[in-house]
Amino acid sequence: IKRPPVKKFLGLPEIVPPSAPPPNFSLFSQPKSEPSAAAVLPAQPPKISEKRITSSSAVSQRLRNLERTVKGRKRNKKV
């Protein structure tokens, strides 16, 4: 289904991957609106611990959750 001719044959719409949103801030750029950037930095804790979830890991986690729910439904039907 990943190939365009197959999608056209099946009549599936072409899905354009969404562009990644720009990051809210960069650690390497300095804020332009604040003249005293040194006073702002100690007030904010470093945000190094924040991690972005990649789309592949999000999809695999969603898949695992769906498989668990299906497995749970199958168990309930057998009982």
C-alpha torsion 23→25→29→32, nearest 10: 120
* Residue 55 falls inside a structural domain: yes
* pLDDT for the residue numbered 72: 85
Q: How far apart are the first and last CA of the chain?
A: 37
> Is the pLDDT confidence value at 64 over 90?
yes
Give the structural domain span for 31: 6-74
Does 30 map to a domain?
yes
Asked whether residue 34 is assigned to any structural domain, the reply reads yes
Length, in residues, of the chain: 79
7 contacts 14 by C-beta, under 8 angstroms = yes
The candidate with the shortest Cα–Cα distance to 45, out of 59, 57, 27, is 27
| pLDDT single digits (tens) 15-59 | 666 666 555 655 555 555 555 544 445 555 555 545 566 678 888
Q: How many domains does the structure of the chain reveal?
A: 1
